């Protein structure tokens, strides 16, 4: 596995609509493995292929599958998903605000309104169709990554954007 370089704005690949993946070969498997390693090294909870300079509809996500595991912060309960050609097919009417950041826009965070729950259809890394129903932060992560495949970054949707305080600045303030 190889760490890939994460591209940042204003790289044009981040603003392009990504192409559908049509070939499920060894090259795709290597890309998926590299993206997972890159995401973990960053560290992040999701990564889209355009973020490593490849305009393909592929995302990887690693997060807790359910709220109980997240609350317990049990690292063994994290799950990894690789979704190819993901499509959000249903979204809850209920929306929630949350703070997001992005590996392709370092040192910036913002408040973004997202659907509380979504249903996604996609292909897994072996080309088999799959469907997911997710809610909460996991739904937010999937929506954020799917946006990347459409050339959208979180700052396009944010109601407010700011530079987060460093731990040192927080200590100085207290």
Distance CA 128, CA 82 (A): 12
pLDDT in tens, 135-146: 999 999 999 999
pTM: 0.90
Q: Which residues contact 61 (CB under 8 A, 6 or more apart)?
A: 45, 46, 80, 81, 83, 138, 141, 142, 145
What does the mean pLDDT of the chain come to? Answer: 93
Domains of the chain and CATH, by start? 12-163 (3.90.45.10)
What is the pLDDT, as a whole number, of residue 73? 66
Q: What angle do CA 128, 83, 71 make, to 5 degrees?
A: 120
* Omega within 30 of 0 (cis) for the link into 2: no
- Is 100 assigned a catalytic role? no
Selected catalytic residue, list 145, 167, 168, 169 = 145
The pLDDT score that the predictor gives to residue 174 is 44
């Amino acid at each position: 596995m190889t760490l890939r370089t994460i591209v940042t704005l204003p790289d044009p690949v981040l603003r392009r609509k990504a192409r559908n993946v049509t070939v499920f070969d060894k090259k795709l498997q290597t890309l998926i493995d590299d993206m997972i390693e890159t995401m973990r090294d960053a560290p992040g909870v999701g990564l889209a292929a355009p973020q490593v300079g490849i305009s393909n509809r592929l995302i990887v996500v690693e997060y807790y599958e359910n709220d109980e595991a997240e609350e317990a912060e049990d690292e063994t309960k994290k799950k990894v998903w690789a979704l190819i050609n993901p499509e959000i097919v249903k979204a809850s009417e209920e929306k929630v605000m949350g703070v997001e950041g992005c590996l392709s826009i370092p040192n910036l965070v913002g408040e973004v309104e997202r659907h509380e729950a979504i249903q996604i259809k996609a292909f897994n890394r072996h080309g088999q169709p799959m469907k997911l129903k997710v809610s909460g932060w996991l739904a937010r992560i999937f929506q954020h990554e799917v946006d990347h495949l459409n050339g959208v970054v979180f700052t396009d949707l944010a109601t407010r954007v700011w530079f987060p305080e460093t731990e040192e600045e927080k200590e100085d303030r207290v």
